[in-house]
Structure formats: C-alpha cells, structure tokens
Amino acid sequence: MTKDNDHISKRKFMEELYRYKRGSVTRRHFLGVTGLGTASAVLAAAVPALRPRRAWAQGDIGDRVVLATWPNYHDPANFEAFTEATGAAVDVNVFGSNEEMLAKLQAGGSGWDVFVPTNYTITTYVGEGLIDPLDAARMANYDASAFDPRFAGPGIVDNTLYAVSKNWGTTGYAINISKNDNVTPTSWKEFWDMTMDSFSGRTMVHDYQLTTIGNALKYFGYSFNSVDPAELADAEKLLLDAKPHLFAINSDYQPSMRSGDAWMTMCWTGDGKQMNRDMPEIVYVLGKEGGELWSDFYAIPKGAPHLDAAYALIDFLLTPEVNAKEALFHGYPVADSRVNALLPAEVLNDPILYPAAELLDALEFGAAATLTDPNRAELLARFKSA
C-alpha cells in the first residue's frame, strides 16, 4: 500500500461528484494549493500501523521515503511494487506550485527525500544550496546517453548532475472546436482575439504568472521569458483588456472544459491529452508563435533524511519498464529513449504528446529569472485584482 491511496480516493470522490468519466488530472492542481493533499499524506505517515512490514531488501534502506510531487503524476501500483521490493513505504506530499516547493525548502525541515522540480527552478535551488548533486553510480538504471539532452539538460548545472529527467511537456491551449465551426486555430494571436470576441466569457487562463504572462507576450511576438518593462506593459494591457471576457483565472480548467462552461483554456500537455481522449472535439493547440516547453526532474534536497531510500526510489522509477507504466498512467512524454521504445506506437505518434519538430522548435524553456521576476509577479497580481 502506498500513501498515495489517500489522495486517489479523494480524487475518486471528486470524480463521482462531477460524474466525469475519467476525472480531472490537472498538473498544478488546486488541491495542492489548498494543502489538502499534503494534509492527508502527513496524516497517513503519522500512523505507523498503516506502514507495511519490510518484505525484502537489498541492504537496509529504512522503512519509508518521502516524495514531494505534483498531483496525479504517478502510478500508485509502481509505489506498491517499490514497497514490496524494498520494504520502504512511499509518503507522497502533493504540491500546487514551484513557488510553494521553494518556500518549503527555504524554510527548512521539509523532511523530503525526493522532490520533483521544474526545469527553471533548478539553478535557483543550486544557487541557494538547497539540493545535493546526484551520484550517478548509485542509480544503476540511469543511463545519461538514453536521454534527449534538450529535456535532460537543465538537470546539469556547472557540469554537475543535480536532477534527472522525469517527464516533459508543452504549454499550449485546448479549444472545443465544436464552438468554433470545427475550425482549429493555430496561434496565440487567435487565442486572445477570440477571447475578446466570439469566445467572450468562455476562455480560461492559468493562475500562474509564467504561462499567463508568457502567452500574452506571445501575442506580440515577444519572448515567453521577457522581463522587458515595455514588453510587459503591452502584455499587461492585453491581459486587462481580456479580463472582462475571461470565464476564469484558474489552473484547474478540466472540469469547466468538460462541462462546457469553458470553451478554450491555456493547457498543459497531459490535460490536453486527457480531455482530447474523452472528448475529441477538444483539441490541443501549440501557438505557432511559440510558447513554453518544460521538463520536470527528480532531485534530492540537501539533508534528505532517508538518502539510501531516495536513491533507491529514483533508480526504481527510472527503470524503463516502471517508467513506461508511469507514462501510460499519467500521459506525459518521457525523454528516455529506452522508455519510448517500450511505449505503443500510437502514443509516440500522438501529435499532442510529441508535437511536430517545427512547433517544438518555436518553444522556449521557462527561465529561472522569469519565475522570480518581481515585476512579472506584481503584474499578474494587478491583473487578478483589477
């Protein structure tokens, strides 16, 4: 049994609530923000009787390992298998934003063994001395040559390996084309123009400065990562003009898209895939002007209490067979060629998961400076409180 079950059952409850066939699997889910996920995981960890007895282990790695990650980002069956094999139960702490993870690590005493940072945060963690370099020798299943350097690269800072690639994805938008005469738009320009016209009251944007401002910058053809005051002023004007036409400013967009309340939304790969699978009229679009490319990593925070278990868990999850099961469960692309070799062809050929090269080339990784820029943070806050 894994501690993630608690969270899963809660999700099941929500599913029944909305009578969604497959439920909402949103990467930066609202649950994380409100701390509900964290609370249940902590509770479960506090009850020792719930922890399984150790069955078998290659050397003693302890009876538990604490993982801080995003909601619905793992196959619970894999955690069960890990516990079966090593005797260490996985305590899952669910988070809602990179900022929150950073704040928690900065405060100290997080108790985490493994966490899942996004590419643009790693240099900050290194700079603040919050994470330890990874010892590749302790991860038998890590094969650097198998990883696409485009996605795995941000894990290496100053030629030192700090984080190994978990998944990658894009940030585009999802649109219900049945509301648009079955015409699929192709650009961020169309996204914003439609929002203020035929889709008024039906569009959602993220409650996340990186993507919401970044994709507004794209309307003008500016860099997704721009911190230029003039360019940001243009973006702010666009956002303020669009605000009265928005359905919501919320990163939990699947329920509204599925219910038909919202027709178009900024969207991450996995959500786009899930909605498209259930409702083919919802298609996933990468703006031709570009947008965000992101990748998530496994990393070990400084002072992890169960270091052996941390390495064991990362190594286990990097096992190609295990990682393939993960990918099939959550639907995000993997940068590991060994894993891709195990995935069915229809997954690899899916244009949502693996976009055409020219679309991918137009995308930018979010930059560390973009995330921490005070002007961008304040801009989004002004936009929301306008």
Partner 1 sequence: MTQRSRNLLLLAPAGAWFLVMLVIPLTVVLIFSFGERGAAGGYVPAFTLDQYANLPARWAAFKNTLILAPAGTLASLLIAYPLAYYLAVRADPRWKTVLLVLVIVPFWTSILIRSYAWIFLLGGRGIPALLAAIGIEDVRLINTPFAVLIGIVYGYLPLMVFPIFVNLDRLDKRLLEASSDLGASPWRTFLQVTLPMSLPGIATGCLLVFILLMGEFLIPAILGGGKVFFVGNALVDLFLQSRNWAFGSAVAATLVILMLVTVTAYMRLIRRLGAQREDVALM
Q: For partner 1, which is the closer residue by CB, 141 or 254?
A: 254
Helix 374-385 vs helix 209-219: angle between axes, to the nearest 10 degrees?
90
Q: Using CB under 8 A, pick the residue from 2, 256, 274, 340 that binds partner 1.
A: 256
CB atoms within 10 A of CB 9: 10
201 touches partner 1 by CB under 8 A: yes
237 touches partner 1 by CB under 8 A: no
261 touches partner 1 by CB under 8 A: yes
Q: What Rg value do the Cα atoms of the chain yield, rounded?
A: 20
Q: Where are the beta strands (DSSP E) in the chain?
A: 64-69, 89-94, 114-115, 156-157, 160-161, 163-176, 203-205, 246-249, 264-268, 282-285, 291-299, 363-365
Q: Contact letters (x/-) for partner 1, 356-385, by CB under 8 A?
A: ----------------x-x--xx-xxx-xx
Phi then psi for 169, rounded to 5 degrees?
Answer: -175, -175
What is the spatial distance between Cα 34 and Cα 125, in angstroms, rounded to a whole number?
24
**Shortest distance in whole angstroms from residue 7 CB to partner 1:** 14
The amino acid present at 241, given as its one-letter code, is: D
Considering only the stretches 200-208, 287-295, 339-347, 353-361, report the one whose residues sit in contact with partner 1 under the rule CB under 8 A: 200-208
What is the spatial distance between Cα 159 and Cα 133, in angstroms, rounded to a whole number?
10
386 touches partner 1 by CB under 8 A: yes
Q: Using an 8 Å Cβ cutoff, are 297 and 117 in contact?
A: yes
Q: Using CB under 8 A, pick the residue from 149, 221, 260, 344 that binds partner 1.
A: 260
131 touches partner 1 by CB under 8 A: no
What is the spatial distance between Cα 262 and Cα 84, in angstroms, rounded to a whole number?
43
Considering only the stretches 98-106, 181-189, 304-312, 314-322, report the one whose residues sit in contact with partner 1 under the rule CB under 8 A: 98-106
227 touches partner 1 by CB under 8 A: no
What is the spatial distance between Cα 274 and Cα 263, in angstroms, rounded to a whole number?
16
Interacting residues of 248 by C-beta distance below 8 A, sequence separation 6+: 204, 256, 262
345 class by beta-carbon count within 10 Å (0-12 exposed, 13-18 middle, 19+ buried): exposed
**Shortest distance in whole angstroms from residue 266 CB to partner 1:** 12
Contacts with partner 1: how many residues (CB under 8 A)? 36
Q: Using CB under 8 A, pick the residue from 89, 213, 246, 286 that binds partner 1.
A: 246
Q: For partner 1, which is the closer residue by CB, 22 or 382?
A: 382
209 touches partner 1 by CB under 8 A: yes
Q: For partner 1, which is the closer residue by CB, 233 or 386?
A: 386
361-364 contacts at long range (C-beta below 8 A, 24 or more positions apart): 362/286, 362/288, 362/289, 362/290, 362/291, 363/170, 363/224, 363/286, 363/290, 363/291, 363/292, 363/293, 364/223, 364/224, 364/225, 364/290, 364/291, 364/292, 364/293
Considering only the stretches 97-105, 111-119, 217-225, 305-313, report the one whose residues sit in contact with partner 1 under the rule CB under 8 A: 97-105
Distance of CA 123 to the CA centre of its chain: 18
Considering only the stretches 41-49, 94-102, 339-347, 351-359, report the one whose residues sit in contact with partner 1 under the rule CB under 8 A: 94-102
Q: For partner 1, which is the closer residue by CB, 88 or 379?
A: 379
Secondary-structure percent of the chain, ordered helix, strand, coil, rounded to 5: 50, 15, 35
Q: Contact letters (x/-) for partner 1, 4-43, by CB under 8 A?
A: ---------xx--xx-----------x---x-x-------
Q: For partner 1, which is the closer residue by CB, 171 or 212?
A: 212
**Shortest distance in whole angstroms from residue 314 CB to partner 1:** 28
Considering only the stretches 165-173, 254-262, 281-289, 325-333, report the one whose residues sit in contact with partner 1 under the rule CB under 8 A: 254-262
100 touches partner 1 by CB under 8 A: yes
Q: For partner 1, which is the closer residue by CB, 266 or 343?
A: 266
Structure tokens at 40: 């249940």
| Binding residues for partner 1 (CB under 8 A) | 13-14, 17-18, 30, 34, 36, 97, 99-100, 103, 201, 204, 207, 209, 243, 246-250, 255-256, 259-261, 372, 374, 377-378, 380-382, 384-386
